[in-house]
Structure 1
């Protein structure tokens, strides 16, 4: 088995790998960078897969790749799955090659939660949605078939349902809530959110989980827990991810809902760092958390890369998340949970701010069609101990 050495080795080929390589280059112009990716595409902008590529005719596929190799000189090994990290030897094993490293970054992200469907279509009609290859397959299905079921009412599921129906596909959205978005939005806002989908023609099947089903060359049958069935020509799931921390755990690294890192994104063994979806880190405003959104991938990847190259900087950014469907855009900083107490501050029915409180302390801010206010939301979280409910109304405009 051959061994290849890199000064900096990144396991994972997503957006974290891209920004980490760029972060390394800010400090070290010459050190060798290796990226091990089990994807078939070099790093790309993942949010476009469920947003702009479907809804913006001027946004083309050419804008999706990030140009990592050309811009940083990184050696990207596609279709390469790391099988073991051996920290004492400073080595990572892949299926048929070993890579040695000076510093290692774990950016393994996660794998989509699969549907419990007996798939006899060989993946032709049943797919999870995570990669560019998944996008290409769903795009082909949207042209080939009449009716597609989407399972999952979170970010990805709602964005895919909106994307498909706006591209002329008969779309049915299956989710477990009573109202779409009711796990994160206050009741009235969830009802308005769901209405956007119904008005666009999305059929919504609420309140029941997919517990089984089957698919063949003719179509898909989904069995719901309440005994009902949903039939479609194909199904795509957006049920979130299972964090890919097994490689780190087997290597002896501390893992607790992700690879546990400190403020500098250092894992529990010297010379190893982690960032992105797979990292559990101490947020300076919100405490230890793991974040599965692009802003965190970009900012944390950059800091990790700089630290691999010796910067020794704390990651102080509190990331935001966002979604865009049917002409509305919402952004969030912190925790959004409909079971928390909320203070709503609406300019009109289209624009407003929702504050989420735990024991009268703000822990999350939702910006609904409010632009340029993310820093203001972070300021509210930073000052949460000194703010009363009465201080919140009118604070962000």
Structure 2
């Protein structure tokens, strides 16, 4: 009987084992996770869960009973120490588990502050898993002073929650502007204005020099000499693919675990999907950090384990919730040379990224219609003229008939 072992019980791992069973796979399935709880959603952790608007049961991707009812051997609170490639086995919790097919859905790990600048002080947090959010939740009391390091989406979402709770929020971003790595200046300007209007102090072009405190953080010195009194710190300076296990096993690594278009790694009978995996995309190699990618890529790998022989064709899309603004992003803006603004009613706006005449991506703020139409245009390879998109009188739905 074929045995599929999946390492990593997050969105990708849970989606993969469910797809195997839904697809009629009759072999043995084992899902191994380091955390003590069944696979759960991560995006609501730093928002609805932290705010107390969503409990753990609603956070779970599937009831824990789903796994036993579907013949999935779920190993929780268990760390895989190594992969025996030659023997086709993993060593976890001190015992060996043999596999016929192995899938790595190990996800990603947050980048932390170095110990030399105070990264090990108490009340310095990252936002990645349930334990992180549970540990920081008591800090979110009105009037407390929080320093957020990093002006990407993780940092901005944390700032939104803190500000909505009545905290004194300072956010520092070393780059010239927030969201510089992922978005156009127009999107940066939009969110800077949004946060500033909510009382968040945003400092751009300024880094953290070091944190101060005796065991517990109490202050921060910035690279411009500014000194701040703080009660706690949230670090949102990005994530890295969790590749240590794969590297130790000799798998090829290239900005993540390197896979082919179907999810196979460089070692036979080992696959990868989700945040940890890089794959071919339009003549290049990319790695996507998003829930939709984790689900879609994992399901393709499950199908390929069952013999489907399908390439994964990514359809990148992302989202971020900040205050009452829902940002939806379609496509990848890499290589853009022009941004077109489309104003909508009720304060909605969308920014359309072009490279020459080709539409690459759309950032839509409270503009779901623009997002959906932009997403369909990008996926179908259609590029309306920038002037047409910018014209508020344009019937966006008619663009699909181009």
Note the alpha carbon deviations across 1:187-220, whole angstroms, 9 max, x for none. 3443232122122122222211223323435533
Give matches, 1:93-242, under 5 Å: 93-94=91-92, 96-118=94-116, 124-143=122-141, 146-242=144-240
Name the CA distance, whole Å, in 1 between partners of 2:121 and 2:25.
43
Note the alpha carbon deviations across 1:258-312, whole angstroms, 9 max, x for none. 11222221222221111100111234x6853110011111222222223233333
Name the CA distance, whole Å, in 1 between partners of 2:23 and 2:349.
41
Q: 1:56 to 1:192 in 2, by over 3 A?
A: farther
SS of structure 2 residue aligned to 1:108: coil
Structure 1 residue 300 and structure 2 residue 297: aligned? yes
Query: Equivalent residue for 2:38?
Result: 42
Gaps of 5+ in 1: none
Structure 1 residue 67 and structure 2 residue 82: aligned? no
Note the alpha carbon deviations across 1:23-75, whole angstroms, 9 max, x for none. 11112354322222222332110000122224573x33320122364213322
Structure 1 contact 48–64 (Cα < 8 Å) conserved = yes
Corresponding pairs, count: 391
Query: Equivalent residue for 1:282?
Result: 280
Q: 1:262 to 1:120 in 2, by over 3 A?
A: closer
With CA pairs under 8 Å and 6+ residues apart, which has the higher RCO, 1 or 2?
1
Q: 1:287 to 1:383 in 2, by over 3 A?
A: farther
Q: 1:282 to 1:305 in 2, by over 3 A?
A: same
TM-score (norm 2): 0.87
**What RMSD over aligned residues (CA atoms) do the two structures have, in Å?**
2.9
Structure 1 contact 116–210 (Cα < 8 Å) conserved = no
SS of structure 2 residue aligned to 1:252: coil
Structure 1 contact 40–133 (Cα < 8 Å) conserved = no
Structure 1 residue 14 and structure 2 residue 38: aligned? no
Query: Equivalent residue for 2:400?
Result: none
Q: 1:62 to 1:386 in 2, by over 3 A?
A: closer
Structure 2 contact 106–276 (Cα < 8 Å) conserved = yes
Q: 1:40 to 1:123 in 2, by over 3 A?
A: farther
Deviation at 1:81, TM superposition (A): 2.2
Deviation at 1:251, TM superposition (A): 2.0
Task: Compare 161-170 and 349-358 and name the one that shifted more.
Answer: 349-358
Structure 1 contact 55–166 (Cα < 8 Å) conserved = no
Deviation at 1:337, TM superposition (A): 6.0
Deviation at 1:230, TM superposition (A): 2.9
Gaps of 5+ in 2: 398-402
Task: Compare 194-203 and 77-86 and name the one that shifted more.
Answer: 77-86
Deviation at 1:388, TM superposition (A): 4.5
Query: Equivalent residue for 2:323?
Result: 326
Deviation at 1:15, TM superposition (A): 0.9
Name the CA distance, whole Å, in 1 between partners of 2:370 and 2:303.
28
TM-score (norm 1): 0.88
Name the CA distance, whole Å, in 1 between partners of 2:112 and 2:303.
35
Structure 1 contact 13–43 (Cα < 8 Å) conserved = yes
